[in-house]
Amino acid sequence: MIENMIKEGKIVPSEVTIKLLQNAMLESGNDKFLIDGFPRNEENRAAFEAVTKIEPAFVLFFECSEEEMERRLLSRNQGREDDNIETIRKRFKVFVESSMPVVEYYESKGKVRKIDAAKPIEEVFEAVKTVFTAQDDKVKWQSTLS
């Protein structure tokens, strides 16, 4: 069903995505999770909390200017069709319109941990470790940066 919806250019309903996430979380046997890129909008957020009855401990938000994002995406040279200035700017606009209200919602609850993503990779990684270590002093980190 999901595959067909994607092929047809349709949006997969939040409840379907959330049930898949919830099943994966339950099957993993873990009690802590990092979900990347979700919720993407307020409807996703409200549906996730309603279906799972889970409110995140915190939201990790990587701050990066539009100019820096453009520079990085245009220079990553992965041959992606969507790595062009027009598409990048459209995606950024959609992010600001759709995803920023989610960030603002959690920020009003004191749950947003911001990271300055414009800094060098090593500094960003150290800042992320600090956020997670502050949440759980038992976390053990091993850098995979070379």
Residue 142 confidence (pLDDT): 41
In the chain, the largest separation of any two C-alpha atoms, in whole Å, equals 46
Q: Is the peptide bond before 39 cis (omega within 30 degrees of 0)?
A: yes
Q: Is the pLDDT reported for residue 144 higher than 60?
A: no
Task: Give 135's pLDDT tier (boundaries 50, 70, 90).
Answer: low
Q: Is the pLDDT reported for residue 101 higher than 60?
A: yes
Backbone dihedral region for residue 133 (phi beyond 0: left; psi -120 to 50: alpha; all else: beta): alpha
The answer to which of 8-22, 42-56, 84-98, 125-139 has the lowest mean pLDDT is 125-139
Long-range contacts of 49-52 (CB under 8 A, 24+ apart): 51/15, 51/18, 51/19, 51/22, 52/18, 52/21, 52/22, 52/25
- The pTM of the full predicted model, rounded to 2 decimals, is 0.78
Residue 72 confidence (pLDDT): 87
- Exposed/middle/buried for 29, CB within 10 Å: 0-12, 13-18, 19+? exposed
Contact 5, 12 (CB under 8 A): yes
Q: Which domains does the chain have, with CATH numbers?
A: 1-55 (no CATH), 59-138 (3.40.50.300)
Q: What does the pLDDT look like over 29-84, one tens digit per residue? A: 998 889 998 999 999 999 999 999 999 999 999 999 999 988 888 888 676 777 78
What does pLDDT average to over the chain? 86
